[in-house]
Each structure stands twice: as structure tokens, then as C-alpha cells.
Amino acid sequence: MNQTKDSLKQLFNNLSENDYKSIADFHIHTTASDGKCSAKEIIAQARAKGLKHFSICDHNTFDGYKDLNFNDYPELVTGIEFDCWYRGIFLHLLGYGADINSEDLKPFLAKNKAETEKDIVRIFSTRNVPKLIEAIHQAGGLAVLAHSACCWTINHEHFVKCMVDIGLDGLETYYPYRRHRGIIKFHRARSVKKIAEKLNLIKTGGTDTHGSL
Ligand SMILES: [Zn+2]
Ligand SMILES: [Zn+2]
């Protein structure tokens, strides 16, 4: 916690693909959205597994963090996963390292529980993506396109470039595409990695677990 944007970038840049299989998980859901375990249960599991860096990323809410004293959890990076549409594409945008009490982000947060857990409600999201990315930055955070290979884009590199133009910082690159929730994958994980490297974006990763770790 309390990293600057640069030190957080550094942290992501220092992690390897292997680290995401062993010591890092930057995409975990809790009961604050549609996950099955509470934030405290997830933290206990993360410690038991020996994770050195992790992040709780609930849909449109920081509620999972509200009872936590961040000084007790130095391995925790704040996170959130917003539902949005951009240029006709439905996407999930992750925000890392943002101040959970940021006034800039408040207008983008869920107004009720359904907006954190019901797909059918979340798909009607009207968040303005350029303004959201700006707000994430204002709150001290980084904006990362979640499970990028699942985006229904025709030319993914072009779409990512358009997002970089409005401030995107990274792509979620290390993600369990093959065994995850039956979500249709539109692009190859390897091509996501290439795009991230070509455009000099940070590469993040996580399990996107909605159960236990
Ligand atoms: Zn997602
Ligand atoms: Zn997720």
C-alpha cells in the first residue's frame, strides 16, 4: 500500500510470468462482489499459499477493503474491476493502487449490491472510459485492461492503442484463459503479451478467482 504510481509500475515490471504462478495474484473476487470468500478469508488463504503480492478486485466496489487496516497487509495492492463499454466493446477495466476513498472515483462506484454481482445489471454500465481512466490516475492508480484476450475486438492491437491514447497503463497478460468460467476467448494470450511489449505497457496477472485461492 501507499505506493506511488511509479513504484507500482516497477513492482509489476519486476514480476515474471512464473511469479504469477507462485507468488502474485492481482485479480481476486470476494463477497463484496460475486465471490464466495470474504476479504479476510482471502488474505488468510493468500498468506497460507505464500503469496507476496496480491490484490482484491471486486466488480465496481472497494467494499472488500473497508474493514482492513492496510498497515497489517503490506503485500496487498488495492484493486477494483469496472464494467464499461468503449467504442462498442464491453470490457473490464482494472484499477490498481488507487486510494479507495478517492472522491474522483466515487461517481464510478456501484450504487447498489446488484451492480457488484449481477452480470445482467453490470452489462448496462454507462461509465465513460476516458473519464474513468483519468479518475483512476487522479486517485493515484494505474488502469489495466482485464483478461484482454476476451475482448471482442476485431483488431485488438488497434483497440489497445486507442485505449493507450486515453491513458491505459497495462494489459492483464497472465490469466488462466483456458480454464476460466467458460468465457469465450477472442484472442491468443501470446498475442496479448506481444501487444503489451510492443506498446510498452505493464503486464499484470491474476487468477480472477471467485472462490477460494
Ligand atoms: Zn472480469
Ligand atoms: Zn474479475
Burial class (CB in 10 A: 0-12, 13-18, 19+), 72: exposed
Distance (angstroms) between ligand 1 centre and the Cα of 114 equals 16
pLDDT tens per residue across span 88-137 = 999 999 999 999 999 999 999 999 999 999 999 999 999 999 999 999 99
**Domain-located, residue 85:** yes
Q: Is the pTM of this model over 0.85?
A: yes
pLDDT tens per residue across span 19-60 = 999 999 999 999 999 999 999 999 999 999 999 999 999 999
**Domain-located, residue 212:** no
pLDDT tens per residue across span 164-213 = 999 999 999 999 887 666 566 778 888 999 999 999 999 999 999 999 99
**Domain-located, residue 131:** yes
Long-range Cβ contacts of 111-115 (<8 Å, 24+ apart): 115/59, 115/60, 115/61
**Domain-located, residue 210:** no
Instruction: Say which CATH number the domain at 161 has.
Output: 3.20.20.140
What's the one-letter identity of residue 8?
L
**Domain-located, residue 40:** yes
Domain count, the chain: 1
Distance (angstroms) between ligand 2 centre and the Cα of 181 equals 11
**pLDDT averaged over every residue in the chain:** 94
Residue range of the domain that includes 119:
5-205
Nearest bound ligand to CA 150?
1
